[in-house]
Amino acid sequence: MSTFNKVSFTMQRTNSYGRYTIAAKYKGMDIITITTDSEAFDYYNDDSNKAKQREALRHCYNKIVEAYERRIA
């Protein structure tokens, strides 16, 4: 589990090629969203390149917020 902006989430590969699931609890709601950004998946847990890892975590966080906003709209 990773954290960005005080939001904890997981990212994992789905059964489909090139699709990844991001799951989080955001503002009391369970959010599950999909991304196709393989670079984010590659750097999600990679401590060797902190800048790329931070970009990957930011990408996941933005996808969570976007999915949350779609849900409440």
On average, the pLDDT of the chain sits at 94
Residue 34, both tokens: 């999909």
- Cα Rg of the chain, angstroms: 12
Residue 21, both tokens: 């699931």
Position 68 scores a pLDDT of: 97
pLDDT in tens, 10-37: 999 998 888 999 999 999 999 999 999 9
- The model carries a pTM of 0.92
Could you please report the per-residue DSSP string of 40-69?
HHHHTT-TT-HHHHHHHHHHHHHHHHHHHH
Position 22 scores a pLDDT of: 97
- The model's confidence at residue 73, banded by pLDDT at 50, 70 and 90, is confident
Locate the domains of the chain by residue range. Answer: 2-72
